[in-house]
């Protein structure tokens, strides 16, 4: 049994367990007001957020592998090729950078004034009370208005039948993990609130070898990258955290600490990162893929 | 209210009138072989389009050239184009009728026909473009007033109903005429149709008055409806946060473009039907000139809007615009862009304004150019607009596949087919209106006056965009070896209890073994916390001791439970590290972080969004239906507008019923 297969089997078991616990379409869709699993403590709702420390992100240049946040996300969610729900962009470092670059891991920004939710004609994409923006692929009509509305390029469309490993087909569908993918619908980063409620970090934060991705709760004002626990507001303020395209008024839940991988020793003039891979691609017979 | 159809009729010579009737009714009576061949050709094209669509239905939208970054293409561009064409009928029939121009009466029927058919065809495109066309009914079941797409659906449905009424109303007298004159020449189906559609019209004074009132009502209401349609069509683009599109000029820009292409479409249809149906006597240079002047006026308006669009964007050159200008003017879209600007805006204007080319041929050429240009413009708005990268990635490319071209061709064929079939069902000239308002001599053309000179649009200036840099700083820490340095003592004072989120004032004091305060030492306040599997000391405050050895700190704790606030001294080159702990119990159940998801405009994100558990259990049954129908403040203007328009439609339907009843009683 190859490594990939073994991992897939383990994931299948885990997924089945997760699916049985989440047969309802989420605490908010069910209409109940008490959602024990999603409360921080005694009736307080989580307000999930993320702080990404760009000082620690070198695009996984030092590991000699593709960006591990993206890889972990892809393998955890069975995100179909070519979807990178968290994508590591390489952009110019800033004014006068003279060719120097920075890596920018971009998950869905989980806006609080989400343009995508505002334009959806059928409320298939919706804001949850916890502040995440999810998509109900069983309702989505595939009009792609949300993709035009998103100013962060963070939405993906199932143009054809997505290649999926067999175990993905056994996972019960839920908007919080979006598996299995449904043709003709939109997908994106779901911020892994299901994992967080189970006491685990999102796949991307788990995957980051440098601990650059802090996942947290604005309500409890705490965040962690799995290595250290920080007071979210203090950590953001102390390090001049900013949000992408603040001027658009989308109020993202993802904050960035400016940097170019200096804390992990990256030379900002060293460019390039390895391309992402979809490891189960070869296991799926006759899979159709497409380019972004 | 002054009725349109009741003004005193000049007497038309009987033989002229007879000729008009014969020619107008000719296609209803006889069918030529060319007609059948033409229909066969159109059906073949449509059949191939259906085959292409079946491929798309089977394999998904992967068979198109669209992908994530340019996720709309030919379909949506053509949707906008066809909806634009549909503005023809409104402008000609309603506006020109309202200003009592007479020259257009022989072509209003064609214009109204184009409106209805273009709407029918155009409305297919969003469904073809959908990833899940099988879920189209979700739009009704879960439709949200807040979505521009729903505005489109409401506006197009309203406009389609209105323009169908507006097409059928002036047809009533002609159907009556067909019923009365075309005795043996037509088959039974046609006769039944004529009798039914004539709704018992016998040209009695009361029927005339009712018809006039109905037409006047429709004439007035259809203009704002038409304007609203293309405005909301533009809003599916303008409501996004994308750089070339988030401009306030899109509404009027789209309406002007719609009328421009609509007028061109009528000229083209006029040219074809005039030739095919031998209506040269009734559709003359007068009509071509009249429409030509309108077209020329709209080349100026379109030129003005393009100047507005490119000058305003080009002057400021906000992020993304340099890229957009480059791709349009010198990049991959330059052939299309310059064809559009020079060949389809400038050239048609010149063709019509120059007296030498102001002929039927010249005006028709201008119309063809205008139609091509407006399709290009829609394509550029969609494809080039969405090609501008919103994040640091390489711009992607889009090329329509054979499926998209086939479906587009099928759409044009369907457009032509419906019009072709309609020429069999009713006269394409409004006989009674032409007879009533115009004698055999063509009236002198009162074409709209034009400004003498067109203004030349300047090209946008180029500039370099400065980017905002972000300063980064390195944090360095150093620790002296703690061995054999003199020990210190940390004392900490923290209130024993606090609410979550309450500002806690704590103090810590650092003294040496002799109790002497230490100045200038760095103290750090931490709390141990478990979160998502990670456990660690979370820094909550820090400070440097003063002369009295004391650090004051203010922080809040938002995690319920008993905590140990630990104050640590990391040691320096004088003293060894030390720490102290104080207990604090934090209680409270209040939600502290209260940012609500959704737009801040009152009501814009309410009722239909089901994701609001805070607001109690979801309503079901009638309550849910009412909640969806009367959602919130933002829904009211839309609802009010719809109520006004649809009640006027109802009034018109009532008038038609009255016409029918009048016959029954007579």
User: In the prediction, which pLDDT does B443 show?
Assistant: 40
User: In the prediction, which pLDDT does B203 show?
Assistant: 84
pLDDT greater than 60 at residue B343: yes
Contact call for residues A57 and A261 (beta carbons, < 8 A)? yes
Give the minimum alpha-carbon distance from A184 to chain B in angstroms, rounded to a whole number: 4
For chain B, give the longest Cα–Cα distance.
128
Of the pLDDT bands very low, low, confident and very high (cuts 50, 70, 90), residue A6 is: very low
In angstroms, the CA B242 to CA B15 distance is: 62
Residue among A124, A247, A153, A148 at smallest CA distance from B235:
A148
In angstroms, the CA A122 to CA A139 distance is: 7
R_g of chain A, CA atoms, integer Å: 18
Long-range CB pairs of B190-197, under 8 A, 24+ apart, other chains included: B190/B28, B190/B425, B193/B425, B197/B168, B197/B171, B197/B172, B197/B426
In angstroms, the CA B267 to CA B361 distance is: 11
Alpha helix ranges (H) inside A61-192: 68-77, 115-119, 145-149
pLDDT greater than 50 at residue B348: yes
pLDDT greater than 60 at residue B658: yes
Torsion sign over Cα A28, A31, A37, A43: positive
Which run of H or of E encompasses B486? none
Question: Hey, which bits of B556-610 come out as E strands?
Answer: 561-569, 578-587
CB contact under 8 A, B143 and A157: no
User: In the prediction, which pLDDT does A21 show?
Assistant: 34
User: In the prediction, which pLDDT does B441 show?
Assistant: 42
Q: Does B148 touch chain A (CB under 8 A)?
A: yes
- Supply the pTM of this predicted model: 0.85
Instruction: Find the mean pLDDT for residues B615-621.
Output: 53
Residue among A119, A84, A125 at smallest CA distance from A105:
A84
Chain A residues in contact with B138 by the CB 8 A cut-off are 122, 124, 139, 141
In angstroms, the CA B575 to CA B544 distance is: 15
User: In the prediction, which pLDDT does A1 show?
Assistant: 35
Residues B6-46 pLDDT 10s: 344 455 677 777 888 877 787 777 778 889 999 999 999 99
In angstroms, the CA B554 to CA B556 distance is: 7
Chain A residues in contact with B616 by the CB 8 A cut-off are 33
Looking at per-residue pLDDT, the higher value among B359 and B573 belongs to B359
Residues B39-65 pLDDT 10s: 999 999 999 999 999 999 999 999 999
Mean pLDDT score across all residues of chain B = 82
Phi-psi region for residue B312, left (φ > 0), alpha (ψ -120 to 50) or beta?
Answer: alpha
Looking at per-residue pLDDT, the higher value among A22 and B416 belongs to B416
Q: Does A243 touch chain B (CB under 8 A)?
A: no
User: In the prediction, which pLDDT does B596 show?
Assistant: 61
Q: Which residue among B135, B592, B593 sits closest to A141, beta carbon to beta carbon?
A: B135
Residue window 44-63, chain B: list those with CB within 8 Å of chain A: 59-62
Contact call for residues A165 and A12 (beta carbons, < 8 A)? no
Residue of A nearest to B391 (CA): A152
CB contact under 8 A, B613 and A33: yes
Residue among B431, B439, B429, B430 at smallest CA distance from B9:
B439
Chain A residues in contact with B605 by the CB 8 A cut-off are 117-118, 127
Q: Which residue among A139, A235, A259 sits closest to B138, beta carbon to beta carbon?
A: A139
CB contact under 8 A, B598 and A123: no
Of the pLDDT bands very low, low, confident and very high (cuts 50, 70, 90), residue B633 is: low
What is the DSSP pairing of strand A48-53 with strand A254-257? parallel
The angle at the Cα of A60, spanning A59 to A62, to the nearest 5 degrees, equals 125
User: In the prediction, which pLDDT does B101 show?
Assistant: 72
Residues A18-64 pLDDT 10s: 333 333 344 443 333 333 334 456 678 888 999 999 999 999 999 99
Residues A51-97 pLDDT 10s: 999 999 999 999 999 999 999 999 999 898 889 999 999 998 877 67
In angstroms, the CA B168 to CA B136 distance is: 29
Highest mean pLDDT among A36-45, A262-271, B595-604: A262-271
Contact call for residues B165 and B90 (beta carbons, < 8 A)? no
Q: What percent of chain B has pLDDT over 90?
A: 51
What is the crossing angle of helices B360-379 and B250-276, to 10°? 140
Residues B76-102 pLDDT 10s: 999 999 999 998 777 777 777 777 777
Best of B142, B597, B607, B615 to disrupt the A interface (most A CBs within 10 Å) is: B597
Of the pLDDT bands very low, low, confident and very high (cuts 50, 70, 90), residue A167 is: confident
Contact call for residues B64 and B400 (beta carbons, < 8 A)? yes
Phi-psi region for residue A78, left (φ > 0), alpha (ψ -120 to 50) or beta?
Answer: left
User: In the prediction, which pLDDT does B625 show?
Assistant: 60
Q: Which residue among B392, B466, B592 sits closest to A91, beta carbon to beta carbon?
A: B392
Question: B608: which DSSP letter?
Answer: T
In angstroms, the CA B112 to CA B171 distance is: 11
In angstroms, the CA B121 to CA B159 distance is: 14
Task: Show Cβ contacts of residue A204 under 8 Å, excluding neighbours closer than 6 positions.
Answer: A69, A70, A72, A73, A86, A105, A107, A213
Chain A residues in contact with B153 by the CB 8 A cut-off are 121
Chain A residues in contact with B611 by the CB 8 A cut-off are 28-29, 123, 126-129, 134
Q: Does A242 touch chain B (CB under 8 A)?
A: yes
Q: In which residue are the tokens 């299948």 written?
A: A12
Task: Show Cβ contacts of residue B454 under 8 Å, excluding neighbours closer than 6 positions.
Answer: B299, B300, B303, B349, B353
In angstroms, the CA B498 to CA A203 distance is: 35
Q: How many CB atoms lie within 10 A of CB A209?
A: 15
Of the pLDDT bands very low, low, confident and very high (cuts 50, 70, 90), residue B276 is: confident
Alpha helix ranges (H) inside B280-438: 285-316, 321-329, 334-338, 347-353, 360-379, 385-387, 402-425, 431-437
**CA distance from start to end of chain A:** 33
pLDDT greater than 50 at residue A111: yes
The interface pTM score, or ipTM, of the predicted complex is: 0.86
pLDDT greater than 50 at residue B645: yes
Three-class DSSP category at B544:
strand
Q: In which residue are the tokens 């249809």 written?
A: B269
Best of B242, B593, B604 to disrupt the A interface (most A CBs within 10 Å) is: B593
Chain B residues in contact with A160 by the CB 8 A cut-off are 59-62
Question: B342: which DSSP letter?
Answer: I
User: In the prediction, which pLDDT does B589 show?
Assistant: 85
Looking at per-residue pLDDT, the higher value among B25 and A237 belongs to A237
Residue window 87-126, chain A: list those with CB within 8 Å of chain B: 89-97, 104, 106, 112-115, 117-124, 126
Tell me the two tokens of residue B92: 């000609």
In angstroms, the CA B25 to CA B43 distance is: 25
Three-class DSSP category at B400:
coil
The CA–CA distances, whole Å, from A223 to A199, A234, A244, B128, B201 equal: 13, 10, 19, 45, 78
pLDDT greater than 90 at residue B195: no
User: In the prediction, which pLDDT does B634 show?
Assistant: 59
In angstroms, the CA B364 to CA B272 distance is: 10
The CA–CA distances, whole Å, from B340 to A154, B345, B374 equal: 33, 6, 8
């Amino acid at each position: 049994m190859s490594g990939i297969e073994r991992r897939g089997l383990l994931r299948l078991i885990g997924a089945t367990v997760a699916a049985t616990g989440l047969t309802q379409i989420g605490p908010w869709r069910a209409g109940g007001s008490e959602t024990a699993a999603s409360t921080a403590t005694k009736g307080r709702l989580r307000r999930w957020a993320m702080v990404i420390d760009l000082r620690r992100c070198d695009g996984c240049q030092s590991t000699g592998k593709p960006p591990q946040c993206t890889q972990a996300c892809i393998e955890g969610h069975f995100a179909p090729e070519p979807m990178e729900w968290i994508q590591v962009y390489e952009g110019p470092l800033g004014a006068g950078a003279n060719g120097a670059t920075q890596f920018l891991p971009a998950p869905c920004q989980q806006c609080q004034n989400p343009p995508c939710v505002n334009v959806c004609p059928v409320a298939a994409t919706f804001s949850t009370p916890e502040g995440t923006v999810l998509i109900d692929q069983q309702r989505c009509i595939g009009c792609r208005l949300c993709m035009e509305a998103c100013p962060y390029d963070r939405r993906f469309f199932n143009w054809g039948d997505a290649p999926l490993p067999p175990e993905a087909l056994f996972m019960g569908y839920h908007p919080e993990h979006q598996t299995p993918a449904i043709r003709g619908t939109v997908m994106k980063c779901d911020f892994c609130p299901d994992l967080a409620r189970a006491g685990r970090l999102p796949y991307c934060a788990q995957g980051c070898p440098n601990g650059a991705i802090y996942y947290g709760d604005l309500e409890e004002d705490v965040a962690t990258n799995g290595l250290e626990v920080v007071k979210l507001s203090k950590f953001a303020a102390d390090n001049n955290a900013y949000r992408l395209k603040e001027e658009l008024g989308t109020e993202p839940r993802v904050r960035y600490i400016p940097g170019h991988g200096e804390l992990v020793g990256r030379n900002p003039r060293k460019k390039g990162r390895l391309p992402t891979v979809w490891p189960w691609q070869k296991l799926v017979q006759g899979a159709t893929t497409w380019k972004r | 209210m002054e009725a349109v159809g009741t003004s005193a009729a000049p007497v038309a010579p009987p033989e002229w009138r007879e000729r008009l009737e014969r020619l107008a009714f000719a296609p209803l009576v006889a069918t030529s072989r060319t007609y059948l061949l033409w229909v066969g050709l159109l059906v073949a094209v449509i059949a191939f389009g259906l085959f292409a669509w079946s491929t798309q239905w089977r394999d998904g939208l992967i068979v198109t050239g669209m992908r994530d970054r340019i996720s709309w293409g030919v379909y949506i561009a053509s949707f906008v184009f066809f909806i634009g064409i549909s503005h023809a009928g409104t402008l000609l029939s309603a506006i020109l009728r309202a200003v009592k121009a007479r020259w257009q009466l022989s072509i209003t029927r064609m214009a109204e026909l184009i409106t209805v058919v273009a709407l029918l065809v155009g409305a297919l495109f969003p469904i073809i473009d959908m990833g899940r066309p099988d879920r189209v009914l979700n739009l009704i079941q879960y439709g949200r007033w807040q979505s521009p797409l729903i505005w489109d659906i409401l506006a197009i449905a309203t406009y389609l109903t209105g323009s169908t009424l507006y097409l059928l109303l002036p047809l009533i007298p002609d159907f009556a005429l067909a019923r009365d004159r075309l005795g043996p020449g037509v088959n039974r189906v046609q006769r039944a149709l004529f009798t039914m559609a004539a709704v018992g019209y016998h040209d009695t004074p009361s029927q005339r008055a009712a018809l006039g009132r109905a037409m006047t009502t429709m004439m007035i209401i259809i203009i704002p409806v038409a304007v609203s349609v293309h405005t909301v069509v533009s809003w599916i683009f303008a409501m996004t946060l994308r750089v070339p599109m988030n401009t306030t000029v899109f509404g009027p820009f789209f309406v002007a473009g719609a009328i421009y292409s609509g007028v061109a479409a009528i000229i083209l249809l006029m040219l074809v039907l005039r030739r095919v149906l031998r209506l040269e006597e009734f559709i003359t240079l007068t009509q071509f000139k009249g429409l030509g002047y309108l077209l020329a006026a709209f080349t100026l308006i379109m030129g003005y809007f393009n100047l507005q669009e490119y000058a305003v964007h080009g002057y400021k050159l906000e992020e993304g615009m340099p890229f957009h200008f480059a791709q349009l003017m010198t990049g991959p879209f330059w052939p299309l862009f310059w064809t559009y600007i020079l060949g389809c805006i400038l050239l048609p204007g010149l063709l019509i304004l120059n007296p030498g080319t102001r002929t039927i041929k010249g005006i028709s050429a201008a119309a063809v150019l205008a139609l091509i240009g407006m399709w290009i413009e829609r394509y550029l708005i969609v494809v080039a607009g969405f090609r501008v990268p919103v994040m640091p990635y390489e711009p992607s490319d889009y090329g329509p596949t054979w499926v998209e071209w086939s479906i587009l061709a099928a759409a044009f064929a369907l457009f032509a087919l419906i019009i072709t079939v309609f020429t069999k069902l009713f006269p394409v000239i409004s006989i009674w209106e032409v007879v009533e308002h115009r004698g055999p001599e063509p009236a002198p053309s009162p074409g709209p006056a034009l400004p003498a000179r067109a203004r030349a649009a300047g090209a946008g200036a180029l500039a370099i965009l400065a980017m905002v840099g972000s300063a980064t700083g390195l944090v360095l820490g150093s620790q002296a070896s703690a061995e054999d340095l003199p020990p210190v003592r940390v004392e900490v004072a923290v209130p024993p209890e606090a609410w979550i989120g309450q500002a806690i004032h704590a103090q810590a004091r650092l003294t040496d073994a002799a109790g002497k305060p230490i100045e200038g030492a760095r103290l750090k306040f931490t709390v141990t916390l478990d979160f998502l599997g990670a456990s660690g000391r979370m820094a909550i405050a820090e400070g440097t001791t003063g002369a009295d050895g004391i650090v004051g700190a203010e922080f809040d704790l938002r995690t319920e439970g008993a905590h140990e606030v630990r104050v640590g001294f990391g040691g320096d080159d004088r003293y060894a590290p030390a720490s102290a702990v104080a207990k604090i119990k934090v209680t409270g159940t209040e939600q502290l972080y209260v940012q609500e998801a959704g737009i801040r405009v009152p009501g814009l994100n309410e009722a239909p969004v089901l994701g609001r558990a805070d607001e109690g259990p979801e309503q079901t049954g009638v309550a849910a239906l009412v909640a969806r129908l009367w959602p919130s403040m933002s829904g009211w203007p839309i609802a009010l507008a719809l109520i006004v328009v649809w009640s006027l439609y109802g009034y018109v339907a009532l008038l038609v019923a009255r016409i029918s009843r009048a016959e029954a009683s007579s």
